[in-house]
A and B are shown apart, each in its own frame.
Chain A
Amino acid sequence: MTEHGSIIYLEGVTVDYDGFKALNNLNFIVNHRELRVVIGPNGAGKTTLLDVISGKTKPAAGRVIFGKDRDLMGMREYEITQLGIGRKFQAPSIYGNLSVWENLDLSLSRPSKGIFATLRGISTAAEREEIDRTLETIGLQEQVRKRAGSLSHGQKQWLEIGMVILQDPELLLVDEPVAGMTDEETEQTGRLLQSLAEKHAIIVIEHDMEFVRQIARIVTVLHEGTVICEGTVEKVQADDRVREIYLGRQKVAHG
C-alpha cells in the first residue's frame, strides 16, 4: 500500500547479517520536500537504512518504493542514483586524484552517463554555470583546480555535498555530515541543508543533538533496526523509551 505523497516508502524491511538483524521489519516513510532527521545509538541501523534505500544492501525481506510506484528492490546502485537519489557518505568519498572541478563535473546530472556519451561529451555553458553556482554554495571557488585529495577534511565533506547537489536528486541521503566539523562549519552545513530542503527531500543522519535541534522538523528514532518513535524534537525528547535507550544512555555517559 503505497502512500502517494511519499518520496520513499519502506515496508517490512529486514536486513540480515548472518542471523543479526541490522534492520528488523522496518517501516519508514518520508514525504516530498521533507527534511527528516534519523537519530539512534551507534549500531542502530541508520547507515544500513541508507544502504537499503540507495541499493548498496539488498534486504532479505520487505519493499522499498521510490516516488509513486518505483520499486527499488533489485535495482543497481547507479540506476537508483539516476532515478534521483543522491547519497553523501559518512566518511568523505570523493575522487582524490581529480580536481575539484572535475569532481563536480563528473557528478553533474546528465541525460546519459553511459560510456559512449561520456567519450564524446563536452560540458555546455549551462552546465558550467551550474557547477560555478554550486561551487559558490559550497564555498570552494578558490580551490577549483586543486587536487581534491589535498583538501581539508571539512572541505572534502562540502565537496561531497556539492557533488550530491549537482546530481539534482529528488531525495538526498546524508550520513553524519557534520562529524569532524568546527562549530561554524556545522552551522553553515545546517543552513545549507535547510535551504536544500526547499527543493529536495532529505534524510539526514545525525548524532549531534544541537545540530538536530537546529535543522529538524520531524525526527525518527531508530533502535535495534526498528523505529521506536517519530515526531518533533520536543515530542521525541519527551518520549520515555527514547530517553531510556538514547538520551538516557547519553546522560549516563556524560555523568
Chain B
Amino acid sequence: MFWLVGFVLLFVLPILNVLPAEDSWLHVSDFALNRFGKFLAFAILALGLDLIWGYAGILSLGQGVFFGIGAYCMGMHLMLTIGSQSVYGSALPDFMVWNQVTELPFFWKPFYSFSAAVLAGLLVPACFALIFGFLAFRSRIKGVYFAIITQALALMAWLVFNRNETNLGGTNGLTDFKTLLGFRLSDPGTQLALYVVTVLCLGGAYAMCRWIIASRAGRVLIAIRDSEQRVLFSGYSPATYKLFVFVVSAMLAGLAGILYVPQVGIITPAQMGVLPSLEMVVWVAVGGRATLVGAIVGAVGVNLGRSVLTNSFPELWPFFLGGLFVVVVLLFPDGVMGMARQVRGKFAERAARLPKSQAVEGEQT
C-alpha cells in the first residue's frame, strides 16, 4: 500500500503533468500539482501532530508556530536571494526599505546560505520546542493546561511576528520571491521539482514515524496516553518521551514550513496564529488519530475541501470547519480511518507487522 501510493504520488502524477497534452483528461495541470504539493507539505506537519496528540495524547495547539518558524526561515532565504531585483532595487528586502531599515539585521545574515536556512528551519523549531517542552513537561503541565499554554504561545508568536520592528515583514509577511538555488520559482519545472522533493520528504517522514511507533518507544507513547502514572512506575521518565516526541513534531512542522513557502510563494503571521494551529488538529482528527495514514488523509482531505469551498462559498468555510470540529469529535472520534476500519471489518494489519503475535487483535497502528 505504502509503495503503491508512493509510486502514484512520485511518478504517476508528475508524468501526467508532463506528458499528456494540456487538454487531455489525463493531464494534471501545473496549478493542481502545485496545490497538491502544498497539501502534502501540510501532511508532513500532520504526521508530527499525530505522533504527539494521536499517540501520546498531548494536545499541542502551537504547531502553527513551529510551522511558521520553518516557513519564515525559508522565506528569509528567498527574500535575500531576490537581491536587487526587488521593487526598490535595494539589496535589502522591500519591506525593510519601506520601514527605513538601512542595514540588514544581524539575524538575517546567515540566511544568505540555503543550507543554513534549511538547517535553521529544522533546528530553530526544535530548540524552541525543547526549551518550551522542557519547562512544561518537567513541571508536569499536561492535558488542557498544556493545550492552553501552547495556544497562548501561538497567540504570542502571532503578535510578535506581526510587529514591524521584529524585521520580519510585519502583517504582510514575506513574499515576491523570485528564485531558489538559481531556478526561477515561476517555472513549472521548478515547481515540479519542489513537488517531488515534498513527496520524498513526506515519504521519509512517514517512514521515520512508522519506525518510532513500531519501536518500544512508540508503545511507551501510547502507554503515556493510557496511564502516565503506570509509565512512571514502570521506570520510564514520561517527561523525556514527551519532550522527544514534541521536538520531533516541531521539526516536522518546521520541515512542512520549509517546503510550503517556495510552493505557495508567501508566508504571513496569519498562517501561524491560533486558528491555523487549531485547524491542523482538525486534519488529524478528521483523518483519524493514532493512524499515520489517517494524518496524511486528513491533511490532504480537509485542505482539498477548503480550497473547493473557499473558492465557491467563502463565507461558508467557517461553518464547515466548525461543523467538522463538532461532528468529528462527537460522532467519528476515529475519523476517516476509523470508518474505513469499520467498513472493512476487523483486520490485524498491525499484528502482522509486529514480530510474533504480541499486538492487540484487530487494532491497527
A167 sits at the interface (CB 8 A): yes
Q: Are A95 and B223 in contact (CB under 8 A)?
A: yes
Digitize A85-110: 1 where CB-to-B-CB distance is under 8 Å, 0 elsewhere. 01101000111111101100111010
User: How many residues of chain B get a CB closer than 8 Å to chain A's CBs?
Assistant: 34
Report whether A102 and B361 are in contact in the complex, using a CB–CB cutoff of 8 Å.
no
A146 at the binding interface (Cβ < 8 Å): yes
CA of A35 to CA of B244 in the docked complex: distance in angstroms? 40
Find out whether the CB atom of A121 lies under 8 angstroms from the CB atom of B215.
yes
User: Known contacts A94-B227, A95-B227; is A119 also within 8 Å of B212 by CB?
Assistant: yes
B89 CB to nearest A CB, Å: 51
B244 with A147: CB separation less than 8 A: no
Nearest B-chain residue to A86, judged by Cβ: B233
| A120: Cβ under 8 A from any B Cβ | yes
- B240 lies within 8 A of A93 (CB): no
> A149 — which chain B residues lie within 8 A by C-beta?
226
Q: Are A98 and B223 in contact (CB under 8 A)?
A: yes
B1 at the interface (CB under 8 A from A): no
CB-based contact A121/B229 at 8 Å = no
Q: Give the contacting residue for A145; candidates B236, B240, B359; CB below 8 A.
A: B359
Please name all residues of chain B whose beta carbon is closer than 8 Å to the beta carbon of A115 when the two chains form the complex. Answer: 217, 240-241, 244
Taking CB atoms and an 8 Å cut-off, the chain B residues in 332-352 that contact chain A are: 351
Contact of B216 among A76, A97, A106, A128 (CB under 8 A): A106
* Chain A positions 72-94 with a Cβ under 8 Å from a chain B Cβ: 76-78, 81-82, 86-87, 89, 93-94
Measured CA separation A70–B140 after assembly (Å):
26
Residues of A within 8 A of B182 (CB): none
Contacting residue for B235 out of A81, A95, A105, A147, CB 8 A: A81
Task: Answer whether residue A13 sits at the interface, using C-beta atoms and an 8 A cutoff.
Answer: no
Residues of A close to B226: CB separation below 8 A: 94-98, 149
- Chain B residues in contact with chain A, CB under 8 A? 211-212, 215-217, 219-220, 222-223, 225-227, 229-238, 240-241, 244, 351, 355-361, 363
Question: Which B residues touch A97, using CB under 8 A?
Answer: 222, 225-226, 360, 363
A14, CB-defined interface residue at 8 Å: no
Query: A118 and B220 in contact (CB under 8 A), knowing A82-B235, A113-B235, A163-B234?
Result: yes
Extra pairs beyond A96-B226, A120-B215 (7, CB < 8 Å): A78-B235, A98-B222, A99-B363, A102-B359, A106-B216, A115-B244, A147-B360
Q: A81-B233, A94-B227, A107-B234 are in contact. Are A99 and B212 (CB under 8 A)?
A: no
Q: How far is the CB of B217 from chain A (nearest CB, A)?
A: 4
* A54: interface (CB < 8 Å): yes
Within 8 Å of chain B (Cβ to Cβ): is A114?
yes
26 contacts between A and B (CB under 8 A): A76-B237, A77-B232, A77-B233, A78-B232, A78-B234, A78-B235, A87-B233, A93-B227, A93-B230, A93-B233, A94-B226, A95-B222, A98-B226, A98-B360, A101-B359, A102-B360, A106-B234, A109-B235, A113-B234, A115-B217, A115-B241, A118-B220, A119-B216, A121-B215, A144-B357, A147-B360
User: Which of chain A's residues have a CB closer than 8 A to the CB of B361?
Assistant: 99, 145-147
Contact status A106-B219, CB under 8 Å: yes
Chain B residues contacting A77 (CB-CB under 8 Å) are: 232-233
Chain B minimum-CB-distance residue to A145: B361
Q: Which residues of B contact A78 (CB under 8 A)?
A: 231-238
Bound CA span A78–B240, Å: 11
Contact string, A30-43, partner B, CB cutoff 8 A, digits 1/0?
00000000000000
Closest B residue to A128 by CB, please name it: B356
B residues near A122, Cβ cutoff 8 Å: 355
A128 vs B355: C-alpha distance in the bound complex, in angstroms? 12
What's the Cα separation between A146 and B351 when bound, in Å? Answer: 11
The 8 closest A-B CB pairs, nearest first, are A101-B358, A118-B217, A81-B235, A118-B216, A95-B226, A99-B360, A77-B232, A95-B223
Q: Which of A11-64 contact B (CB under 8 A)?
A: 54
**Chain B nearest Cβ from A77, distance in angstroms:** 4
Given contacts A99-B360, A146-B361, contact A81 B219 (CB under 8 A): no
A111 to B: closest C-beta gap in Å: 11
Contact of A81 among B232, B351, B360 (CB under 8 A): B232
Q: Is the CB of A118 within 8 A of B360?
A: no
Tell me the bound Cα distance from A76 to B229 in angstroms.
12
**Which chain A residues numbered 174 to 205 have a C-beta less than 8 Å away from chain B?**
none
